[in-house]
Chains A and B, each alone.
Chain A
């Protein structure tokens, strides 16, 4: 019952003259792009500099409100919250990149295979995707954790596996639309095989759909990692993580309520940025959708 688009926007749209001019006038794209850049910048800066060491505990200065020395205050162990937030951005980006990478590579390969081979191969891949849809990200991660133990690596693998069926479905639907095009029939008539057509014609023409979907799944991966770390199943101490900061802040809600505000805001801004960027890209790469919205 999946809707197969009649046309699929191509990543070549990035090279169309005027794309970036239009992009810079698109509100969602600009706000999303700025927020996403800030997230990347925070993670990059934390590699070389943080106001204080995020691992250094100072019980004499614990639970301090924001001051000139500690811009966002200190936590239960006297660690600088701003430094923890900067380093925490690394965990979010790491999980997002690898988990989306796993889903993108494996899901796209399965979706392309399903579209190219059709028949029982397509049926088997799609039914497998159906089964996997029964397991939301948290549930997949819980199964992985129950077997292999808690940790960032298992969390990444679980979120990545959860992404596979989504990418497989989207790739197959978009690839099917390309396979029905006349230029694919022409390529076939020229004697090109299924693999060559997939790599030369299908994949480049569905790349925009995959780029848009990747930004959306990136945001979902950040949320899933934060939730798992909040539960103690994701990033482990002493590595800072926004989800774990929230979990620690919850125990101090009466003494230092602000501690619970900053990490949540960081997660929300990162997710908002990626969602807006995805929306913007979708509008710019497929103007028909923008008109429909």
Chain B
């Protein structure tokens, strides 16, 4: 187990370094002269040179990369050009919305998918199964931002149960905050739940063919108990694998959905930073999202070993 963890940890560090190199190359080297880009084509060469020196662009690329990585490790990410505020403060403030939103969406995804997947598997090839799987096909095809708009149309415009967007923060209480995130989280979750439900159904059907399930039923354990305890636990490996990949989709989805609901989260910050050509903010936000994706996949791999102790270091 410890060798497995060690090998996965080394892979995690290597992937994080690789991702940081890609981010640096694309957002720091490719744009050429970032100072010129910021000041526009009409800026005088002296002013561009002065800004370049201020931003450290006169240093070699490796020194700038090293400086950035050092900043990432110590929390010193520099200042935003547009807001003239430390980037770390901007990001931390926005994370108080994006992380709860992604977690809430993941929770909805998991509950919906397990319910639909296990129910469909229990009614394999019957009307309920066909109907639920048809619904999941539709769910997979729906763009999350369109579903978000439909939710606003129904629950905000017609029924007026929820506000059509915005977020007042957590000062008014957790319930008020969660209420503001409910529709965005649902719109993110439905598409991912549809995918996960299909995976859950397949995995459950696969395990239901195993001998130990027949033995449990023969010993008189009820169908429901067999499904939700024996079968589901053994079907979790593929389900968790997909959940790990889906978390990255959910994080990426927040960029779009935060814009639909005008939520001041990390996604909207990136979007605004692009409009402002604020590359420092874009670079650090993109790196943060990529790191979250990589770390979640690491946690998923570790969970494999917890759920199924037969998985060893040699399996990776």
Q: Does A200 contact B (CB under 8 A)?
A: no
Nearest 5 A/B pairs, CB to CB: A264-B146, A131-B18, A136-B252, A272-B141, A271-B141
Of B40-48, B50-58, B147-155, the stretch lying at the interface with chain A is: B147-155
- Give every chain B residue within 8 A of A231 (Cβ-Cβ): 255-256, 259, 271
| A142 B19 Cβ-Cβ under 8 A | no
Contacting A at CB under 8 A, from B1-37, are 11, 14-15, 18-19, 21-23, 26-27, 30-31
Is A139 engaged at the interface, CB distance under 8 Å to the other chain?
A: yes
Q: Specify which chain A residues have a CB less than 8 angstroms from the CB of B23 in the assembled complex.
A: 143
Q: Which residues of B contact A (CB under 8 A)?
A: 11, 14-15, 18-19, 21-23, 26-27, 30-31, 137-138, 140-147, 149-150, 152-153, 157, 164, 202, 206, 248-249, 251-253, 255-256, 259-260, 270-271, 273-274, 277, 279, 282, 286, 289-291, 293-294, 297, 315-316
Using A264-B149, A268-B143 as known contacts, list a sample of 8 further A-B pairs with CB atoms less than 8 Å apart, ordered by residue number in A: A142-B282, A143-B286, A146-B279, A260-B149, A268-B146, A269-B141, A272-B141, A293-B202
Distance (whole angstroms) from the CB of B124 to the closest CB of chain A: 10
| With known contacts A131-B18, A134-B15, A268-B138, A223–B252 Cβ distance under 8 A | no
The reply to whether B289 and A249 contact each other, CB–CB distance below 8 Å, is no
A34 → chain B, closest Cβ, in Å?
14
Q: Which of B11, B31, B255 contacts A138 (CB 8 A)?
A: B255
User: For residue A145, which residues in chain B have a CB less than 8 angstroms away from its CB?
Assistant: 274
Does B286 contact A139, Cβ atoms closer than 8 Å? yes
How extensive is the interface on chain A, given as a class? Answer: 35 or more
CB contacts (< 8 Å) of B255 on chain A: these are: 138-139, 142, 231
Across-interface contacts of B21 in A (CB, < 8 A): 131
Q: Which one of A5-13, A186-194, A205-213, A250-258 is at the B interface?
A: A250-258
B304 (CB) vs chain A CBs: closest residue: A1
Given contacts A1-B316, A142-B282, A267-B143, contact A246 B149 (CB under 8 A): yes
Q: A178: shortest Cβ distance to chain B, in Å?
A: 23
Are B248's CB and A249's CB within 8 A? no
CB interface residues, A 183-227, toward B, < 8 Å: 219, 223, 226-227
Whether B260 pairs with A131 at a CB distance below 8 angstroms is: no
Over the window 1-29 of chain A, the binary record of Cβ atoms lying under 8 Å from chain B Cβ atoms (1 yes, 0 no) is: 10000000000000000000000000000
Contact A230 B150, beta carbon cutoff 8 Å: no
Known contacts A250-B149, A264-B149; is-contact A134 B19 (Cβ 8 Å): yes
Residues on B with C-beta less than 8 A from A257 are: 153, 157
B153 adjacent to A146 (CB under 8 Å): no
- Knowing A1-B315, A131-B18, A146-B279 touch, does A227 contact B153 (C-beta < 8 A)? no
